[in-house]
A and B are shown apart, each in its own frame.
Chain A
């Protein structure tokens, strides 16, 4: 290869215009975040009238399908080098293998990962705070097992310990960040189990003592060690 290996960092900002719409969408689908009063009136009406119920179901289906369409459109952008934004640079550098991808905050989903998995020389992948990355997506990452050295999954709301179990294929992984995963039930224990599963990897995440409570002797020692000056 004539050109030197430049580590390409492809960042998400081009797609940020689309993501806020999708984040708003997930809020609409999730009932906890919406205003209470409007929701109870609609619910009341939907329970009593078939027409209101049918209209609400239709709107829900439309919303659910919209997320899928937006993701597909975005993925085509990623693949085609003659899209908008970074088009010129991408065209010149298309022979250069991609080494690092930063997809933080990007609304990438299961189908969208097809594009990342095609990058066979990928060494560093950051999927921080991606709202649609879940356990199913993690099960696809085994295709990057030969090259991936660094993976960050911090802050993804849908990843649980069941998805982390399929990271054992990534034996070349040296750095794994699994901090701040709200769906993991027992972060301390999960950290220990993941460390056992990937012995060569440095796992950043929850402190293993996070879920532990202080024993009775330690508690009294604590209060004794900080005396209030009399």
Chain B
């Protein structure tokens, strides 16, 4: 029994006389233990390496009610409306996890910054209308004590969509949907249809060859500075008490519940309990216990959804339905044209898919072109292809505006669309199987202009359980499984 006690490594006081005889087997392990204990005591004493209070300020908190993955304009908008619509001040603890605090690849800041109501779906029109009202009164919504008011640099110059013969009937139908008769509040988009002759008279620098109809937004359309909106949201949201974390989501820890529907079908419902947030440039991670997760990660939402296990299942079932959002690279070019269109130029969208707008007072113009499926560039990096401008963009521009035959490209950049390959419209609302996950992503190039309204809609679904102001049921995740496309025809 004494030998057993020795093997267990009990203190030397109990051994007493027996120590010398049992040296070989146990003393080496015992010596090691003594030196370990000595090292620990030395580190605890002042001057040593251990400190009882470790600095965890770079880590996110251990618990949070809502974790929003992605700190771009959509994520911040959801955070803002959550804090604004919560029943009691400080009731909900929100954490925004953003991987890159410089926003170097975020779609928000690389965007051309346009806002329009000329869409084909009524939900898109309502989203844009509310967002424009938000932007107009931005200093009432995002006022922070002691900070200067925001200047969005909004250009109310409108959008001009040109349609060829084939597109003319679609455009006419769209304008009927956009105008006030379809809305009970007598609000709608102020859009006027123009024939080629009227177009030529109004904008003499346009070549109307091939144009059958044009729709021109007169009010509440134009472009603004997205960086200003982002910073305004950020500082307001920080003043409301939302926590920010600089890190990357690497894992979701969830639990499953096997249940049966009323018709006897087996369903597996999952609930996420923890989000593992990895700190930048380190292996350290923090498991954040949360009640709700919101995916607003833009172009990388598809990857985050896969981490959460969405799409892992036999194809054709609800479990096997992936989130069809992937990054698509789009180029934007800035050029100078001394004889170009004047101050009145709206954002012109050609039927071929090329678009341009003025930038500033110095006859500089911004524009681009959405490539077809076959010509899609590789979204691995954000390198600009200058030949794309020469071959694809310039011919269309020069045909539409003859003054653009002489121009000089000054700068170019590339950004991602969080492209929804299913129907190019956003994914909003809860997931049917993962009960505490919500989406606010997949807007395929018109996310910035709908962000304030979408943020409010997601906050309403999370707090009240259903959409209240704008009904976004056509944008729920379940449409991917049911095959119901909410197709938007007016995509630039």
Contact with B along A159-195 (1 / 0, CB 8 A): 0111111101100000000000000011001100110
B121 at the A/B interface (Cβ < 8 Å)? no
Question: How many residues from A make CB contacts under 8 Å with B?
Answer: 39
Tell me which residues across on chain B come within 8 A of A164, comparing CB atoms: 343
Tell me which residues across on chain A come within 8 A of B343, comparing CB atoms: 161, 164-165, 168, 193-194, 196-197
Residue from B136, B140, B146, B219 in contact with A31 in the complex, judged by beta carbons closer than 8 Å: B146
Interface residues of B in 148-181 (CB under 8 A from A): 148-149, 153-158
Tell me which residues across on chain A come within 8 A of B222, comparing CB atoms: 139, 162
- Closest residue on chain B to residue A139 by CB atoms: B156
Tell me which residues across on chain A come within 8 A of B154, comparing CB atoms: 135-136, 162
A182, B220: Cα distance in complex, Å: 24
B239 at the A/B interface (Cβ < 8 Å)? yes
Residue from B145, B149, B342, B361 in contact with A57 in the complex, judged by beta carbons closer than 8 Å: B145
A31, B147: Cα distance in complex, Å: 8
A196, B361: Cα distance in complex, Å: 13
Tell me which residues across on chain B come within 8 A of A31, comparing CB atoms: 146, 148
A46 at the A/B interface (Cβ < 8 Å)? yes
Residue from B143, B148, B156 in contact with A135 in the complex, judged by beta carbons closer than 8 Å: B156
Tell me which residues across on chain A come within 8 A of B144, comparing CB atoms: 57
A110, B137: Cα distance in complex, Å: 10
A230, B445: Cα distance in complex, Å: 73
A27 at the A/B interface (Cβ < 8 Å)? no
Tell me which residues across on chain B come within 8 A of A197, comparing CB atoms: 342-344
Dominant secondary structure at the B interface: loop
CB distance from B278 to the nearest CB of A (A): 31
Tell me which residues across on chain A come within 8 A of B155, comparing CB atoms: 135, 162, 165
B143 touches A185 (CB 8 A): no
A57 touches B344 (CB 8 A): no
CB distance from B114 to the nearest CB of A (A): 14
B145 touches A168 (CB 8 A): no
Tell me which residues across on chain B come within 8 A of A12, comparing CB atoms: none
A43 at the A/B interface (Cβ < 8 Å)? yes
A196 touches B145 (CB 8 A): no
A161 touches B143 (CB 8 A): no
Tell me which residues across on chain B come within 8 A of A120, comparing CB atoms: none
Tell me which residues across on chain A come within 8 A of B366, comparing CB atoms: none
Contact with B along A13-56 (1 / 0, CB 8 A): 00000000000000001110000000100010010000001101
A10 at the A/B interface (Cβ < 8 Å)? no
Interface residues of B in 283-334 (CB under 8 A from A): none
Interface residues of A in 127-178 (CB under 8 A from B): 135-136, 138-140, 142, 160-166, 168-169
B218 at the A/B interface (Cβ < 8 Å)? yes
Tell me which residues across on chain A come within 8 A of B218, comparing CB atoms: 139, 142, 169
Tell me which residues across on chain B come within 8 A of A136, comparing CB atoms: 136, 154, 156
B145 touches A60 (CB 8 A): yes
A61 at the A/B interface (Cβ < 8 Å)? yes
Tell me which residues across on chain B come within 8 A of A65, comparing CB atoms: 140
Residues of B within 8 A of A (CB): 89, 136, 139-140, 143-146, 148-149, 153-158, 218-220, 222, 239, 342-344, 361
Residues of A within 8 A of B (CB): 29-31, 39, 43, 46, 53-54, 56-57, 60-61, 64-65, 68, 110, 135-136, 138-140, 142, 160-166, 168-169, 185-186, 189-190, 193-194, 196-197
29 A–B contacts, CB within 8 A, in A order? A29-B143, A29-B149, A30-B149, A31-B146, A39-B146, A46-B145, A46-B146, A54-B89, A57-B144, A60-B143, A60-B145, A64-B140, A65-B140, A68-B140, A135-B154, A135-B155, A139-B218, A142-B218, A142-B219, A161-B343, A162-B154, A162-B156, A166-B156, A166-B158, A168-B343, A186-B361, A196-B343, A197-B342, A197-B344
Nearest 4 CB-CB pairings of A with B = A139-B156, A168-B344, A162-B155, A193-B343
Besides A161-B343, A189-B361, 13 new A-B residue pairs in contact (Cβ under 8 A), listed by A number:
A31-B146, A53-B239, A54-B89, A65-B140, A135-B154, A136-B154, A139-B220, A140-B219, A142-B218, A162-B222, A166-B344, A185-B361, A197-B344
